[in-house]
A and B are shown apart, each in its own frame.
Chain A
Amino acid sequence: MTTAEGHKSSGIGRDVVIYICILALAGLQFVIAYQNIDASQMFVRMLIVAVIEAGLALLFFMHLWTESRSLMWFVLIFTVFVLLAMQYGWTDSFRLLGGAPWAK
């Protein structure tokens, strides 16, 4: 199905529902910000909500869902691989906090 066909087959109602879902999830992030939890828990919860928001926007607002499956898998796999490949430095950031004399 092409994206133009996707526009025709899915009504405006679905777009509005996705919009409301994304708004609700954004609101949930603000609620999490005022929860009495530590920063790491807050970070994980907010990140999970942000990933769900981004997924909805990617699949339905950007119509990746109605594009060819090969494009969808190319974009998702390539992007996730690049993002995961960037995660190697986190342990070093904590080492700086514990090891550097100026961090005390």
Chain B
Amino acid sequence: MSHADMTMGGHTTGLTAGPAFSVPAKKLAMWLFIIADTATFAACLLAYGFLRNATPNWPRPFHSITNVAIMTLILITSSLTMLLGVRAAHAGNKSAALRWTFITAAAGILFALLHIREWFGLIDEGMRMFQNPWGSGLFGASFFSITGLHLTHVTGGVIALIAVGIRYNSGRYRADDLEILGLYWHFVDLVWMFVVPLVYLLNLAH
């Protein structure tokens, strides 16, 4: 059997078939990463929920929602700016795509700074990884683990936004690459939608 027969024949569809799920390999890889990362965050939140259920003197240290509300507003808005960047990239408007991508990165930096300021505020009040003045020391461990993991994702996302934005502008990356990075950024936003109610709002001091 010739090579042409092998590639054109009906028995070799596996060799000539299109990409899995009809999406580019890079995008599929990002979706698989997102599924895996969902499991990571879910495991952390479940562990937190388990500890909270099993601990009678669970602290409720948050007196104000202002900071977390501003952080939420920034992160959700950054998802919109990311969408605008991807839309501009698909329309071939490079300067607008770069501008929106950098605005998204700036929003990420602002979010991270507010987050770190909040951490320092709690540390000033005496909260540590395994002790705090309000109750179970496990609160600090779960709080810093979950928000720290999320903050790491935001920081990585900001670095990626800047790097991909610059390379997109120089022509090394295409609009599709920006779109795939956008998936990651929206995922970071999506995770925050669960972190806020479970870690912050359920621990408000009434």
Q: Which B12-59 residues have a C-beta within 8 angstroms of A?
A: 21-23, 27-28, 31, 34-35, 38-39, 42-43, 46, 49-51, 53-56
Closest chain-A Cβ to B180's Cβ sits at a distance in Å of: 10
Q: Is the interface of A mostly helix, strand, loop or mixed?
A: helix
When A19-B80, A57-B186, A90-B50 are in contact, do A50 and B197 touch as well, CB less than 8 Å?
A: yes
Name the A residues within 8 Å of B179 (CB-CB).
3-4
Q: How far is the CA of A1 from the CA of B53 in the complex (A)?
A: 45
- Beta-carbon contact of B56 and A103 below 8 Å: yes
Name the A residues within 8 Å of B194 (CB-CB).
50, 54
The total of chain B residues at the interface (CB under 8 A) is: 51
- Beta-carbon contact of B186 and A12 below 8 Å: no
B113 at the A interface (CB under 8 A):
no
Name the B residues within 8 Å of A93 (CB-CB).
49-51, 53-54
- Beta-carbon contact of B22 and A70 below 8 Å: yes
B83 at the A interface (CB under 8 A):
yes
- Beta-carbon contact of B76 and A4 below 8 Å: no
| 0 or 1 for each of B171-184: is its CB under 8 Å from A? (1 = yes) | 00001100100110
Closest chain-B Cβ to A8's Cβ sits at a distance in Å of: 7
Q: Which of B50, B76, B202 has the most CB of A within 10 A?
A: B76
Name the A residues within 8 Å of B186 (CB-CB).
57, 61-62
The total of chain A residues at the interface (CB under 8 A) is: 51
- 25 intermolecular pairs with C-beta atoms under 8 Å apart: A7-B90, A7-B91, A8-B90, A15-B87, A16-B80, A19-B80, A26-B193, A30-B69, A30-B201, A33-B204, A43-B198, A43-B202, A50-B193, A54-B194, A57-B79, A57-B193, A61-B186, A62-B183, A67-B23, A71-B28, A79-B38, A82-B38, A93-B50, A94-B54, A97-B55
| B→A interface (CB under 8 Å) | 21-23, 27-28, 31, 34-35, 38-39, 42-43, 46, 49-51, 53-56, 65, 69, 72-73, 76-77, 79-80, 83-84, 86-87, 90-91, 175-176, 179, 182-183, 186-187, 189-190, 193-194, 196-198, 201-202, 204
